[in-house]
Structures are given as structure tokens and as C-alpha cells.
Amino acid sequence: MSEQKKAAQEKSPFPTYKGKPLVRCGDTIYYGSMADKYVIKMDVKSKKKVGELDVADKVTVQLMYTDPEIRSRKQIVKTSEKEGLYLALDIAEAWLTRALAE
């Protein structure tokens, strides 16, 4: 692992995916920094058993504004439902990168 990645991981108290923090609260996962204009919210809607583990089956992905002044219904910019956490993270990373590039 490069020195730059190690330094970035030591600074953040949260696990990261492609340099952005992942914060989990129950079945909800937030991807991105609340200091940015946008963040991704992922809700695990259903799970399936794989061996002894519960694995996310259906995941709702939402691109949201982080501005607390905006009403909660107006905060959602895009929404989608994906099969599995990997596909949800894949679309989340693409949406967040494009939104923050504006």
C-alpha cells in the first residue's frame, strides 16, 4: 500500500471506498463527506443468507444534497435500486464523482 493511502486512512476515523468515507448506521450506509455539497445514502431493503452471513440483496441508492436548509423531500437528486451492495457502491461512486465535479 502506498504511503499516501496509509496517511489518508490514518486521518479518517471511518473506513473509505475510493478515498471517500463510508459510515454505517443499522441498515443505512452513507458514502461521501458531509462537508461536500452531495452525499450518497444507501438503504439495505432486504438481505439473504449466504452460509452464516446476512448479505445485502436489494439496496436503494440516493444522491442527496447535504445542505440542512433544504427540506428533506427536496434533498434527493437521484434514486435507484440495485441488486447487491457491490452494484450499489459502483453506481454511488459514479454519481458522487460526477456531482462533485460540477
pLDDT recorded at residue 67: 87
Question: What is the distance between the alpha carbons of residues 38 and 57, in angstroms, rounded to a whole number?
Answer: 25
Better-scored residue on pLDDT, 34 or 12: 34
Checking DSSP bridges between strand 20-25 and strand 16-17, what pairing results, if any? Answer: antiparallel
Average pLDDT of the chain, as a whole number: 86
pLDDT tens string 25-84? 999 999 998 889 999 999 999 889 888 988 888 999 999 999 888 888 888 899 999 998
Residue 27: phi and psi, rounded to 5, are -95, 15
Q: In which domain, by residue range, is 96 found? A: 3-101
Query: Facing residues of 47 across strands?
Result: 56
pLDDT recorded at residue 34: 87
Question: What is the distance between the alpha carbons of residues 51 and 25, in angstroms, rounded to a whole number?
Answer: 24
Residue 73: phi and psi, rounded to 5, are -70, -30
pLDDT interval class at 9 (50, 70, 90): very low
pLDDT tens string 24-36? 999 999 999 888 9
Q: Is the pLDDT confidence value at 20 over 60?
A: yes
95 closest CA partner among 64, 73, 60: 64
Q: How many domains, in total, are found in the chain?
A: 1
